[in-house]
Amino acid sequence: MASSQVVKVLIVDDDNFTRRIYKTMLFRFCFEITEVEDGKNAIQQFVDGNEYDLVLMDKHMPNMDGVEATRTLRGMGIPVKIVAITDDASSKDTFMDAGANKFLLKPLTFSMLTDILKSFNFLN
Amino acid sequence: MASAPLKAQLTDLLNSMFAMDFLDEQFKELQMLEEASGPGFLAEVVTLFCGDAERIISQLSVLINEPVVDFGKVDANVHQLKGSSSSVGAKRVALVCVKFRNVCQENDKEGCIAALHEIRHEFDELHKKFQTMLQLEQQIQVLDSK
């Protein structure tokens, strides 16, 4: 886990509305949340030395898509849990091959999120 | 309770929106989130969605009326609208977005124009109902706080 006890989550999605919903879901767990609009900014977060326990990664984004961002993070040796969340069902294999830990189809529901968090032992 | 008739009106409105497929189960997820987050969350996301949708639909109108249509940009915008409409539970808008993407991927300008008209219609209908919903919620809050 990242250095503090609080679970740190990075939301990577170009849609402001989607990020707002994810934030509201995650606030219930008192997680620390950062949001960025594309894969390139996601990579920059790690380059800047930030640590995260979980990344919620969209696929279709400007500048750098989620698959490329995932592949890049793994190439950098970043072991963070990456959950791909997209409405593009055909991208599952690509995402998993790039190094994602889980793949979910949008829209994300609270129970889907809770199941994922439990599977990673992020919930006490 | 003074707000009871308004609450009944709101319930009827929401029931009809679900029955007519304006909304789907995802909207119920947002209602559950509001219960945990406190009042105002649903109003915020609905307002956010409507603002985003309006902006995207305006942008689509510009793109489709270009002499040479950039179907890639059109598709990207429709994809974004589909995503946010699915996330808010706007079922009919999301379904039209699927049709729109299909004609877009065939580089069918006339099909895109027709799909845009349909999205405009569906969104306008939904927007009116959302506005009524928010007004009712606001009135209920005022009465309940007295």
Residues of chain A neighbouring B84 (CB-CB closer than 8 A): 15, 17-18
Interface test with A, best of B23, B26, B29, B34 (most A CBs within 10 A): B29
**Which among A25, A90, A81 has a CA at the least distance from the CA of A57?**
A81
The model's pLDDT over B41-68, given as tens digits with 9 standing for 90+, comes to: 889 899 999 999 999 999 999 999 999 9
Average pLDDT (B112-122) is 97
Average pLDDT (A61-85) is 96
Minimum mean pLDDT among A48-52, A120-124, B121-125: which range?
A120-124
Residue B37, pLDDT above cutoff 80: no
Residue length of chain B: 146
Q: How many CB atoms lie within 10 A of CB A89?
A: 9
Average pLDDT (B22-30) is 93
Average pLDDT (A33-59) is 97
pTM of the model: 0.83
Work out the pLDDT band at A83, boundaries 50, 70, 90.
very high
Task: Determine the pLDDT at residue A2.
Answer: 53
- Sheet with A102-105, strands from edge to edge, namely A32-36, A8-12, A54-57, A81-86, A102-105
Q: Indicate the residue of B29, B79, B84 with minimum beta-carbon distance to A17.
A: B84
Given CB atoms, is A25 within the 8 Å cutoff of chain B?
yes
